[in-house]
Amino acid sequence: MKKKLLMVALSIAMAFAAAVPAFADGAGVFSGGNPEYASFSSVGNTAYQLNAHTEGIPTNKTPVTMWVNTGSSTQRWNTISSFPNVSGLYWMKNAANTGVVLAYGGGPNAILATADRWQPANQGIKFVFEGKGPNGYSKTGLVLPAKLLAATATGYYNGARVQWLGSNGLNNQLWYGGLYA
């Protein structure tokens, strides 16, 4: 009898684990490689990546743009840093300077801002799973839930601004994370 109860409990636990989406835990979204830093390419045009628009070290108020992959650390993002004391939100720290994060600066343009644990509305990113692309990678929305805004590629050319806009249902608001399953 104890064996049967153990098997039933194990079966329920396994079914629950399979039902939890991969993006529910920031540390669980990665499938291999170095999970510390990932690139984010627009689903609308995968040649362009989320980029800190600087030739040096990004600082507070550095613009965020689209740029072809250069291999620069300004195009890599640490997405496993949970926002302090706020469940389900994450900082997107830039690899070239982990002291700055993807943020809302009050206008539509996305910027990098100094990481501040008291600013979840402006810096707390939620990863919203939007299905799989033909390449098998997860399509993910990068959302500021307190503002109901999504990171949006406004064009596909070097230097095109990334903006925080309301949902439009288009691929310019969806992102492939370089290390996503």
Report pLDDT for 1.
53
**Over residues 99-111, mean pLDDT:** 96
Written as six digits, the tokens of 26 are 């920031």
CA distances from 3 to 17, 102, 114 (A): 21, 50, 54
- Decide if pLDDT at 31 tops 70: no
With bands split at pLDDT 50, 70 and 90, how would you rate the model's confidence at 25? very low
Report pLDDT for 27.
33
Identity at 40, one-letter amino acid code: F
**Secondary structure class of 67 (helix, strand, coil):** strand
Q: H-helix or E-strand containing 129?
A: strand 126-132
How does pLDDT run across 47-59, given as a tens digit for each residue? Answer: 999 999 999 999 9
- How far is 139 from 159, CA to CA, in rounded Å? 23
- Decide if pLDDT at 20 tops 90: no
Q: What is the pTM of this model?
A: 0.79
**Over residues 154-162, mean pLDDT:** 97
**Secondary structure class of 58 (helix, strand, coil):** coil
- How far is 78 from 145, CA to CA, in rounded Å? 19
